[in-house]
Structure 1
Amino acid sequence: MYSPTPDDWRDANRARWDERVPIHVASDFYDLDAFRSGRDALRAFELAEVGDVTGRTLLHLQCHIGMDTLSWARHGARQVVGLDFSEPAVETARSLADELGLGPDRAAFVTADVYDAPSAVPDSAYDIVYTGLGALNWLPDIDRWAETAASLVAPGGFLYLAEFHPLTDTMDAKTGSVVTDDYFSRDAWVDETPGTYADFDAPTVHNRSVEWQHPVGRVVTALAAAGLRIEFLHEHDSSLFQRFDALERHADGHYRYPAGRPRIPLMYSIKASRPAEPGR
């Protein structure tokens, strides 16, 4: 249900994520054995849009257990830093880095709230600030997020965001063809669904979550207001999970509407850059 932002939103969300870390580690969804053996956790469109990261520094905000973060290191980033507010998630990410032979000089992880990132991460600015899918919905203040993220982009660097499209949160869950909720709502969404997207049947105790919907226009405007130049906004017709019953799984593992049926955007991505300093 929608409601004003409850005072315990951060504690409730952290307890939920802390509990789900071991479930995710053991799940087929994340398939850590395959990841350890070399499977890439990043999506093809992210790799194409971000481009070559060789020799660059990268900060991953809200990194969860670090698979995407470490995948960027595998693609040649000189140093990656992952930040998450869940200590169990960060501990898992550090263990994965050790298993992959990536020491702290190549892959470091810190526990902190994303809004506190500037004082928590080891460097003041990064060539690339990256935020992966399923992150913004956990944050109440998109303007503060944009200001925080933008402050960590080095001159000549950029922020890259890949996210689930908020339009999908307004559609009926079965067909994805009827609008049932307000796209522009600023209220918090409080849910108490047990389990997790990685294992819907997993027994869980900390089920209360507090989330927010951020229309794409607000996200773009917040980044521009924070001093970044919008390079592109791309909308994608696929999702990483079966958001609606009508979606079909394709060979690339993504879910799409059946051929011939009208589509809506299911994910989107943004690249926003900071101009290089004069003379460089």
Structure 2
Amino acid sequence: MEEIDYLAVNRASWDERVPIHVASDFYDVAAFQGGTDTIREFELAEVGDVTGRDLVHLQCHFGLDTLSWARKGARVTGLDFSETAVTKARELAEGAGIGARFVAADVYDAAEALGETYDIVYTGIGALVWLPDLTRWARTVASLLRPGGFLYLAEFHPFAAMLDDETGTTVTYDYFDQGPHVWKFPHTYTGSEVLENDTTVQFQHGIGEVVSAVAAAGLRVEFLREHDHTLFRRFGTLRPDGPRFRLPEGSPAVPLMYSLRAAASIR
């Protein structure tokens, strides 16, 4: 495969997506501005009370989840590689009257760019596929954590990425093919606006790779939980269940998401 600058290609795509996403029903910025938050129920239960704690959100996009954690009582910092996204996040924070720090930097440069440590490192859903090296990522996470702090990760399950797009019942893709995968789609996931920067480069990471990287970075895995729901209609057969989507009742359940929490040692 011809070598491709994954970071430049992906940044161009995400820069272009920011205004489209901000205007979309999917993100519903107006509802956020009206006082709602975007943190999922299972995340709240698994992260616990964040009141008075310092939380950094890696790969934060334009900051809705970051600012939602602030509404839950955390002191928040968001980091994203898109200057366009970070600029919008700052505007939203100011408009909502929420104290927050947003920094533009590649996630691998987070420790240097932020210059601080945190009680919680939170990384949002759909983040890991943009990273080629999870060992380096996990070391970065560990360097950002204070003694006794923890990483919380909620992600789409890599098993689901093997399945066909229509039914979600047929194994179609190779679980162990890490990529890079170069994808070309005319639209982003929020609507029909045609993208000029329609190419992205993604990387597939299995559960074993994620857990091994976290453990090798010196973090202690507290739990790894697999979930039979997801947050969008990934397969045509999925049915809405409140804010989530599941396979139809009576169908064999498969893991569609997972969550992981891992703690730094108390030194």
- TM-score band, normalised by shorter chain: over 0.9
- CA deviation profile, 1:104-142 (whole Å, cap 9, x unmatched): xxx10000000000010141x100000010000001111
Answering whether residue 104 of structure 2 is matched by residue 111 of structure 1, we say yes
Give the whole-Å Cα distance in 2 for the aligned partners of 1:187 and 1:97.
Answer: 36
Alignment partners' CA distance in 2, 1:50 and 1:235: 15
1:156 alignment partner, SS class: strand
> Structure 1 CA distance, aligned partners of 2:63 and 2:48?
20
Distance, in Å, in 2 between the alignment partners of 1:194 and 1:219 is 30
The one of 201, 217, 220 equivalent to 2:208 is 217
Aligned match for 1:254, one of 215, 223, 244: 244
The separation in 2 between residues aligned to 1:186 and 1:122, in whole angstroms, is 31
Gapped runs of 5+ residues in structure 2? none
The sequence identity of aligned pairs, in percent, is 58
Could you tell me the TM-score, scaled by structure 2's length? 0.98
Name the residue aligned to 1:27.
Answer: 24
Corresponding residue of 1:229 = 220
Aligned to 1:136: 128
| Amino acid aligned to 1:11 | A
Post-superposition Cα deviations, 1:163-201, rounded to whole Å, max 9, x if no partner, equal 0001111111111111111101122111110111111x1
Which of 8, 11, 23 is residue 11 of structure 1 equivalent to? 8
TM-score normalised by the chain length of structure 1 = 0.94
Partner of 2:95: 99
1:49 aligns with 2:46: yes
The one-letter amino acid of 1:198's match is: T
RMSD (Å) for aligned C-alpha atoms: 0.9
Opposite residue 217 of structure 2, the aligned amino acid is A
Which one of the candidate residues 55, 60, 65 is aligned to 1:58? Answer: 55
Number of aligned residues: 267
Residue 106 of structure 2 aligns with an amino acid whose one-letter code is D
Q: Which runs of 4+ in 1 moved over 6 A?
A: none
2:146 maps to which of 129, 145, 154: 154
1:237 Cα deviation after fit: 0.6
In the alignment, structure 1 residue 269 sits paired with structure 2 residue 259: yes
Cα distance between partner residues in 2 of 1:68 and 1:175 = 30
Q: Distance in 2 between matches of 1:259 and 1:153?
A: 41
Distance 2:155 2:114 in 1: 23
1:270 alignment partner, SS class:
strand
| C-alpha separation in 2, matches of 1:183 and 1:33 | 38
Amino acid corresponding to residue 160 of structure 1 in structure 2 = Y
Amino acid at match of 1:65: F
